[in-house]
């Protein structure tokens, strides 16, 4: 393959990839909105039903932090014409049904376990978006990472108790 052919192929690949990147950013924003809605709902549930003060306090923190995070995501989403919704994730709805049936130490254990897994997954996705992108969505992901990492540390410390 000569230089011109290689350059043309690269240019075509970039043009073709551009809409995919935009869609990827929009998908990330839609998922982030649903994720924030989910964390707010789960946090409120933990603040109400949690047995330990640690779980109750963590629930309040999640609800507050993710409400603020959603506001930040909504600003970027609106500028990119992404619909801001109050919908939660399917996984969170399943977890809410599971948690509704639990109380006491069983509730706390399940809630904290879910928060560890959920925040590990969120951090992985936000790191990938922050590292692999440019623009407002990548900056948003980067900006929100420290809070997600703090949530994970809190959940892990509660899991050890």
Q: State the residue range of the domain holding 142.
A: 21-160
pLDDT string in tens for the chain (161-residue length): 443 433 333 333 333 334 444 448 999 999 999 999 999 999 999 999 999 999 999 999 999 999 999 999 999 999 999 999 999 999 999 999 999 999 999 999 999 999 999 999 999 999 999 998 789 999 999 999 999 999 999 999 999 98
Q: Is residue 59 in some structural domain?
A: yes
Q: Is residue 5 in some structural domain?
A: no
> pLDDT by residue (tens digit) across 85-100?
999 999 999 999 999 9
Q: What is the CATH number of the domain that holds 87?
A: 1.20.1260.10
Closest by alpha carbon to 129, among 35, 60, 2, 1? 35
Q: Say what the pTM is.
A: 0.84
Q: How many domains does the chain have?
A: 1
Residue tagged 């992404």 (tokens)? 82
Residue 161 is encoded by which pair of tokens? 């108790």
- Is the dihedral angle over the CA atoms 44, 41, 83, 28 positive or is it negative? positive
Q: Is residue 16 in some structural domain?
A: no
Q: Is residue 154 in some structural domain?
A: yes
């Amino acid at each position: 393959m000569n230089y011109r052919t290689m350059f043309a192929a690269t240019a075509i690949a970039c043009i073709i990839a551009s809409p995919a990147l935009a869609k990827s950013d929009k998908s990330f924003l839609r998922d982030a909105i649903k994720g924030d809605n989910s964390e707010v709902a789960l946090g409120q549930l933990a603040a109400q039903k949690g047995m330990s003060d640690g779980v109750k306090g963590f629930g309040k923190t999640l609800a507050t932090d993710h409400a603020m995070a959603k506001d930040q995501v909504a600003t970027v989403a609106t500028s990119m014409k992404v619909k801001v919704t109050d919908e939660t994730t399917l996984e969170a709805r399943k977890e809410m049904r599971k948690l509704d049936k639990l109380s006491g130490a069983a509730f706390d254990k399940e809630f904290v376990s879910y928060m560890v897994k959920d925040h590990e997954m969120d951090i992985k996705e936000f790191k990938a978006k922050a590292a692999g992108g440019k623009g407002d969505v990548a900056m948003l992901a980067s900006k929100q990472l420290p809070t997600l990492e703090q949530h994970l540390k809190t959940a892990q410390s509660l899991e050890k108790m």
